[in-house]
Amino acid sequence: MEYLLSSSEMKRCDASIINKMGVPSMVLMEKAALGAEEELYDGTFDLKKIVVVCGNGNNGGDGFVVARLLYLKNMDVAILFVGDEKKCTPETKQQIQIVQNYGIKIYNDFNFNFDGYTTIIDAIFGVGISKPVRGKYAQIIERMNEAEADIFSLDIPSGISADTGQIMGVAIKAKKTATFAYKKVGLVLYPGAEYAGTVEVKDIGITDIGFEGEYPQVYSYTKDDLKRIPERCGRSHKGTYGKILVVAGAVNMGGAAYLAAKSAYRMGAGLVKLYIPDENRTILQTMLPEAILGTYSSDNIDTEDLKEAISWADVVIMGPGMGKNETTKSILNVLIPNADVPLVIDADGVNMIAEHPDMLKNHKNNIILTPHLGEMARLVKKDIHEIEKNLIKEAKKYAKQENIVCVLKDARTVVTGGNGSVYLNQSGNNGMATAGSGDVLTGIIAGLLAQGMNSLGAATLGVYIHGLAGDIAASKLGAYSMIADDIIDNISDVLYPRTL
């Protein structure tokens, strides 16, 4: 597991190491600069002529140290100070004095000419920026972005919010960012992730001790977390690994049911039953002969038959390809109050709840909702762009309000049960922006639920596995050529460690 820190969490951790562990701030600054310098030498940057642009905070102090280190290795390096000397932190004042002692020239010209420089090192603002960048600072950042040189940012690109990844008026667009101690939330969320370029986390001596037992709210998974996948036992049968009821696929929309069911099987579920319109029987029986079939008439839902199917299942999927119609509404009105097992609601199931929010009043604390941004906008009655600006806040608020697990799907999917902790996914790629990808995710989550994982655990791990399978598919086929079935076909490569 990897912690992703907000600006306040990073500052608190930093202060704890300094004040309680007794590690001098200047030592941390030197280590940060050494880590950054190491990243400069990886062949990414042309180091023929370098300029380090420093602000008056500790991020600027890091920049002064980097400039000194480069100077002492006989590099052609200049320093441009764009901060207010009167507002410098004590550490940055000291680093300025050290640089001056070495005789390194410091420029103070906001009209500095970047022509001829091959690398620009950005050390203007750190993680603490809280208001839009304006005036001369905005102008210097725009000129840095327009320069022909590649930009290397220290800790976070100047102008990017460490908490939301949003652009605070204007921001540096870096080729690479060396961030210190822990990755920041704003480096993972878009557009911050795009502006940061390649991100490398550098150890500077700040460890989990600095949390003092109060751990960060946002976390992500690494491949070590695949050990969370439920183990299979030697003496078992198909019932051991759970029974999933898939209520999906309106007439002529059977593909959604197929994708959800097949991915649940690939994830390890023992039995999958499709509850589908009569018209879809033949095609789905042909496409997925492993599935059990139960059918209904779209004109007249047999409530008792549906309740019996629900009572058979350990997990229920509802919504993919259902359409927003009276049939979907009728089925949801039976499912939500009668399902004593985990219920994963996706796609048109989510859209129907958005139109009839009172449906959730009778649920049994067992629902996972998987909206994409458009569906989330309908659920919370807000504009998509407003939600994009703070995915974490919106997902937490809705999950807490409805007492559900919310899987807010985006390029960086957010998963939360509203209890404070938030999973932010880093696996996956833009090739997964294809029809049916969400149906596959629903099936993966259900497959984990069927094997005994709790709702939050299945949702977080399911999102991570879904992304990894997509990454493997993209490595084989390329992002342009991927379809949802390719994600399913590579689930086994995620589950079988030797191929990772």
- What is the Cα–Cα distance from 118 to 221, expressed in whole angstroms? 36
- What is the Cα–Cα distance from 495 to 466, expressed in whole angstroms? 11
- What is the Cα–Cα distance from 396 to 405, expressed in whole angstroms? 9
Domain extent listing, the chain? 2-216, 223-499
Which tokens is 213 given? 């037992």
**Which H or E element spans position 119?**
strand 119-123
Buried b / exposed e over 129-168, threshold 16 CB at 10 Å, is beeebeeebbebbebbbebebbbbbbbbbbbbbbbbbbbb
pLDDT the model gives residue 362: 81
Q: Quick one: pLDDT band at residue 500, thresholds 50, 70, 90?
A: very low
Q: Are 182 and 201 in contact (CB under 8 A)?
A: yes
DSSP assignment of 206-255? --GGGGTT---SEEE--GGGGGGSPPPPSS--GGGG-EEEEE---TT-HH
β-sheet bridge partners, residue 297: 300
CB-count burial class (<10 Å; 0-12, 13-18, 19+) for 180: buried
Residue 53 has pLDDT above 90, yes or no: yes
111-145: pLDDT as tens digits: 999 999 999 999 999 999 999 999 999 999 999 99
CB atoms within 10 A of CB 286: 9
Q: Quick one: pLDDT band at residue 268, thresholds 50, 70, 90?
A: very high
Q: Are 317 and 260 in contact (CB under 8 A)?
A: yes
Q: Quick one: pLDDT band at residue 412, thresholds 50, 70, 90?
A: very high
Residue 365 has pLDDT above 90, yes or no: no
What is the pLDDT averaged over residues 76-100?
97
pLDDT the model gives residue 496: 86
What is the pLDDT averaged over residues 391-399?
97
Same fold, 2-216 and 223-499: no
pTM, two decimal places: 0.96
Q: Are 294 and 276 in contact (CB under 8 A)?
A: yes
β-sheet bridge partners, residue 317: 246, 344
- What is the Cα–Cα distance from 130 to 246, expressed in whole angstroms? 46
Give the architecture (CATH level 2) of 223-499: 3-Layer(aba) Sandwich (3.40)
Q: Quick one: pLDDT band at residue 364, thresholds 50, 70, 90?
A: confident
For residue 246, give the 3-state DSSP assignment. strand
Alpha helices in 20-57 (DSSP H): 25-40
Residue 453 has pLDDT above 70, yes or no: yes
Residue 498 has pLDDT above 70, yes or no: no
Which tokens is 462 given? 């399911």
Q: Quick one: pLDDT band at residue 306, thresholds 50, 70, 90?
A: very high
For residue 424, give the 3-state DSSP assignment. strand
141-162: pLDDT as tens digits: 999 999 999 999 999 999 999 9
Residue 247 has pLDDT above 80, yes or no: yes
For residue 176, give the 3-state DSSP assignment. strand
Give the architecture (CATH level 2) of 2-216: 3-Layer(aba) Sandwich (3.40)
pLDDT the model gives residue 193: 98
- What is the Cα–Cα distance from 488 to 469, expressed in whole angstroms? 7
Residue 405 has pLDDT above 50, yes or no: yes
Buried b / exposed e over 334-350, threshold 16 CB at 10 Å, is bbbebbebbbbbbbbbb
Residue 499 has pLDDT above 60, yes or no: no
pLDDT the model gives residue 318: 98
Q: Are 435 and 484 in contact (CB under 8 A)?
A: yes
> Nearest-CA neighbor of 256 among 323, 189, 328?
323
pLDDT the model gives residue 497: 59
- CA 265 distance to own-chain centroid: 26
pLDDT the model gives residue 419: 87
Q: Quick one: pLDDT band at residue 341, thresholds 50, 70, 90?
A: very high
Mean pLDDT of the chain: 96
- What is the Cα–Cα distance from 166 to 159, expressed in whole angstroms? 8
